[in-house]
Structure 1
Amino acid sequence: MTFSVNPDLYKNHSPEQQIYQHLFELVQLKSVSETIECFRDLFIEGTNYVEKEISSALEEITASKKAEKEFYLFLNRCCYILINRWYMQPQMHYAIYQLIAIFNHPSRRILTSRSKSSRRLHVLVKGFINSEQYSTLQRLAQVINQTTHSESHDRNQPLTALIRRYPYLYEHCLLNEDATIEQQWIVKQIQSQVQRKFEIDLSQYVTYQVRLAQVAANNSSLSGTNRIIHPVNNPTLLSDTQVNIALKNFLGKVEGENTYKDLAHNFLHYSSQATCFRAFKDDLYEYLISGIDWEYGKLQFHQRLYAQLQNSLPQADFQKVNDFLIVRTCQKLLNFLIVETSSSPQHFTFLDLIGNQGSICAIGLLLKIILICRKIKPYLAKRVAILFNHYEFANDHNIDWFVALLEELNIALSIHFGNIDLCYFK
C-alpha cells in the first residue's frame, strides 16, 4: 500500500516526531482499514514498510539506548494519534477497538527470518503488550466499544469487561501518569457521558419502583400495572432488593434520625471546636465507629482504627487543626481501610470488614470520611482502582462480592456527589 509523502516535511524532526507526523497524515487521508493495515505493517510486521523514511526513523528509535525506557510511551502516543481522530467521529469508534486488537495477533512473518532491527522491534512491542500503557488502552477500547454497542448486564463476565459501568474509576484505570491533555479530555468526555446516563437510568428506575409501590399501597391489582406504568430495567448488576437496600441506606436515616449527610455536617460543626489535632482525631474516631456493630468492633477493629488515628502525624498532635492535617489523616484512613499500595495490594482489613459488616456498612464508613473531606474523593477512587486492577482478570464467582461493592459504591457516589435527585424516594 503506497502512501506518498514529501521527504522534506520530515527534515530537522526527531525520529519520534517524524512518525507522529506520518500517523497524523495517515489517519486524516486514509480509510480506517488502510490506516490500521499501515499501523500493523509498521509496528507488528516491522519489515518492508512502504515509506523508507518512516521505517528508518523507527529503526533509529528501537536502536536507541533509551528504547527500553521510552518505547512504551512512544507507542502509546502513536496509538492515541489515531484514537484522538477516530473518537471525534462517533461512527468510527469501532476502529479504536480494532486498532488495540491488532496487538493480540502476532506477525505473519517468521521471527527468525527478520532482520536484527525487526527482531528488536518485536521484542519491544511484546514488552508493550505486557505494559500498564497497553492495559490502559485495552480498558479504554472496552469502554468505547460498549458505549457504541448495547451494554451487557451479564454479571459473570471478567471484571475487565465491566469497567465501563464505573465512571468513578476512569481517571485511574483509563489514564496513565504520562497521559496527554487530549487523552485526559477523551476520558473526561466518556466519564461525563456514562455518569449522566447512569444517573438518568437510576432515577427513572427508582421512579418506576415508587409508582409500583404506590399502586400496591392502594390495594390495586398489579396484574394490569405494566399496561399503565412503562417498565424500567434495573440499571445495575444488583437485584431489585439490593438496590432498594442501598438506596435506603445512602439516602435515608442510618443512625437515629440522621442521614450520612447529617452525620458529616454535625461532625464538622462539633470538631471545629477541637482545641488541637489530637482532640480532632479522638472526635473522628467516635464519629467513625458509631455505625459499626459493637460486638464486631470490640474484637479488634476499634482498637486497630484507634491506633491508626493516633499514629497519624503524631508530631502535629498539639497543633491547631488545618486543612492539610485533615486531608492527610483521611488519606491514611483510606489506606488503612481499603488498600495502601498497588505494589502490595493487601486488603485484609477491607475483606474482614465486608465479610462481617457487609458492603453497605463498609461503603457507609467510606462515605463518612469523604463527606467530611470532599477533596479526597479521587483518592478513594484510586484505592478502589487498585483493587480493580488486582482482580481485573478474575473470571469466577469469588469476585461477586467485589462487583456488588462496585455497584453499590456507584449508587452511593451518584447520590452524594452527582446531579441525581431521589428525594422523593424517601
Structure 2
Amino acid sequence: MPSQHFSSQSETTESKVLPALTNNILPQAIAPQPTAQLNNSELTVSASQDIIYNFFIYHIKNSKAEVVLQHFKKIFIYLTPPAHPKLIQALHTISEFDSQLEFNNLFKRCCYILLNNWITQRQYQFARDLIKILSERTFSEPHPDNSLKILRGWLTNFLSSKDYEDLKLFVLKYADYQSLQNHWTSRYQPYLLAAQYLDANNAPEERQTARLLSQQLKEKYKFDLAMYTSRSQSATSQLKNYHNPTLLGDEALRLIKLILVNRGAFSYRSLANIFLSQSQNITYKQFKESLVKYLFDYQGNFLSTDICQAQIINILEIFHPENDGEILKSGLHLRTCNYLIKCLTVENSGEPTALFLLFATQLNPLTLAILILKIILISPHSRTYVELCCARLIQYYQDNSDTECQWLIKFLEVTQIALTIYGENVQYNLVNMSEKHEEEQLFIDLNNCRVFSQHKQLRKDKD
C-alpha cells in the first residue's frame, strides 16, 4: 500500500486520463496546467503516470525536439522536473508507492512515446541521443530528497534490465553500439522486433515503434536485395562495387534463381493459387491430405525428403481430428498452417523442434525455407508467425558465437531471401536467356537465366 501523500489538503482533482495510442496518431495531449489549478491534491499512481505521459505528449506536439529531450534529462536523470507542482507531486506519489514495476512501466512508456515520435519523423539523432544519455548517466552524489533518491535507484535497476536492452534494440540501426552491431543476432532485428510488437503485454508505444522499425528494416533489405540482383548481373558489374545484403556471397544470386525456377509447369505462387481454389468446400480431412501433396509435389530433387514427409503426415493426422468431417473454415486453415510452422521450427518452450534440427543441420536448409514459403503463400497471415518463430530461435541461440551458429545463420539467410522475393510488394521474375525455348531443354541452365525485380513503394499501414 502507498504511504501518506505529500498533499496537505483533502481536495481531490480529477486526473486526466491518457487516451490509447494507435499507429502514428498521437492523442490530444493535455497542456501543463497553470499553477493556480495545481493545488495539492491526492493522486493515484495511475493518475500520476498519466500526468507525466501527458506532459511529454504536450511538448512533443508543441516544443522542439531539443526541448523535449532536455525535459527528459531533467525529470529522469537529474530529477529536477520543471516547476509544475502537479508534475513534482506525481513523481513523489510514484516513489511513495514503492514499486519498481510501476516505475519501469512509467519510464519505458515515456521512452517509447519519444522514440515513436522521433523515428516516425525520421529524427534519428534524438533517438540516438536518448540512449546515449542513459548509457552515460553518472550519479556522483546521493540525492537529498529521499523520494527522488528512490527513483534514482529504480532507474539504475532499469538500466540493467531486459527492458533497457529492448530500448537499445529499437535504435540499434541508428546508434553507434559497435559491440551490438558486431553480434550475429543484429542482422535479424526484424524478427526480434516482431516478437516485441506481437506481445500484447508490451505498452502500445513499444509495440507501435517495434512494428514501424521492423517494417523499415525489411523495406531496406528488400530494396538492397533488388539492387543487388540487378547490379550483380550487369555487364559492368566487375567494374563497380555493389552491396550484397546477404551473407551468402556469390551463392545468393544462384539461390534466388533456384527459388524462382518453376517446378514443373508452375511457379510456387501459381501452385498456391491452384491449391486455394481447389480447397473450397472440402472437408478438413481432405484439406490435410491435399496439403501434404501441395507441400511435397513439384519440389524437385533438392526437396525430396520422404522421412520428413511421413512426419508431416503424422503431425497433420493428429491435429484436430474431431473436425475431420467438417467443411474447412478459414480459422482452422490458419491454425493448421501456424501449427505446421511451429512443428517445423520451435517448441512453445523456445527449444528448436526435432524437424527443424533435421532440416537445418542434416538436410539442405533451402528445403525448410521452401516449405515455409509454400505455407505462407496459402496463408499470408502466417508470415508474422514465422517471424515470431525465427525470433524465438535466435533468442534460444543468442549466447552462442556466430561460428557455432553458422547452420542457423544459413537457414535464416535463405529464409529471409525466400520471404523477400515472394513479398507482397515486390515482383521477381526469372527469364531464360537461352536461344532454345524452355520446353526444348531437358533442364534449365541457371547460368543462362537472369533475374528481374520490380520494387513497389509500400503503402502506409492503416491498422
Question: Which band: TM-score by shorter chain?
Answer: 0.7 to 0.9
- Separation (CA, whole Å) in 1 of partners of 2:63 and 2:237: 55
Counterpart of 1:264 in structure 2 is: 272
C-alpha distance in 1 between matches for 2:328 and 2:370: 25
In the alignment, is residue 321 of structure 1 matched against residue 353 of structure 2?
no
Match of 1:363 among 369, 389, 393: 369
Change (3 A) 1:51 1:403: farther
CA-CA distance at 1:193 after TM superposition: 4.1
Say yes or no: does 1:389 pair with 2:395. Answer: yes
8 Å CA contact 1:97, 1:145 repeated in 2: yes
The one-letter amino acid of 2:200's match is E
TM-score, normalised to structure 2's length?
0.71
**1:258 CA displacement:** 3.5
Shift of 1:25: 5.4
Spell out the pairing of 1:401-416 with structure 2 (5 A cutoff): 401-416=407-422
CA distance in 1, matches of 2:354, 2:159: 31
Q: Specify the SS of the correspondent of 1:318.
A: coil
Partner of 1:60: 93
| 1:136 alignment partner in structure 2 | 166
The alpha carbon displacement at 1:57 in A equals: 1.6
SS state at 2:414 partner: helix
Instruction: Describe the superposition over 1:97-147 as per-residue Cα deviations: whole angstroms up to 9, x where unpaired.
Output: 221244334542366x7665345434533453355543332211113448x
Unaligned regions of 5+ residues in structure 1, if any?
213-223
**CA–CA separation in structure 2 for the residues paired with 1:231 and 1:197:** 18
What do the CA deviations read for 1:369-420 (whole angstroms, capped 9, x no partner)? 1111122111111111222333445443222333333332232222212322
* Residue of structure 2 aligned with 1:205, choices 219, 225, 228: 228
Identity across matched positions, percent: 24
**Counterpart in 2 of 1:96?**
127
- Within the candidate set 35, 58, 64, 1:7 is matched to 35
Q: What SS does structure 2 have at the residue aligned with 1:421? A: strand
**1:22 maps to 2:55:** yes
Correspondence for 1:78 = 110
Q: Using a 3 Å threshold, how does the CA distance of structure 1 residues 273 and 177 change in structure 2: closer, same or farther?
A: closer
Q: Distance in 1 between matches of 2:359 and 2:300?
A: 9
Aligned to 1:380: 386
Alignment of 1:86-235 (within 5 A): 86-90=118-122, 92-105=123-136, 107-109=138-140, 116-118=146-148, 120-145=150-175, 157-163=182-188, 166=190, 170-173=193-196, 176-177=199-200, 186-212=209-235, 226=238, 231-235=241-245
Contact 2:284/2:324 (<8 A) preserved: yes
8 A Cα contact 1:281 1:309, kept in partner: yes
Q: 1:264, 1:372 within 8 Å by CA — same for their partners in 2?
A: yes
What is the alpha-carbon distance in structure 1 between the residues aligned to residue 64 and residue 247 of structure 2? 41
The CA deviation string for residues 143-174 of structure 1, in whole angstroms up to 9 with x for no partner, is 3448xx9xx9x99821343245x4x6544346
2:231/2:242 contact within 8 Å kept? yes
Taking a change above 3 Å as real, the CA distance of residues 52 and 331 of structure 1, as seen in their structure-2 partners, is: same
Deviation of 1:182 after TM superposition, in Å, equals 5.6
Which residues of 2 match residues 331-346 of structure 1 at below 5 A?
Answer: 331-341=338-348, 343-346=349-352
Amino acid at match of 1:203: A
Give 1:336 shift.
0.9
Q: Find the residue that maps to 1:142 and give its secondary structure.
A: coil
Deviations 1:307-351 (A, max 9, x none): 22112111111111121221111111111111133x533444312
The SS at the match of 1:321 is coil
Secondary structure class of the residue paired with 1:418: coil
Q: More relative contact order in 1 or in 2 (CA 8 Å, sep 6+)?
A: 1
The CA distance in 2 between the partners of 1:115 and 1:169, in whole Å, is 40
Aligned to 1:239: 249
Structure having the larger proportion of residues in helix: 1
Q: CA deviation at 1:364?
A: 0.3
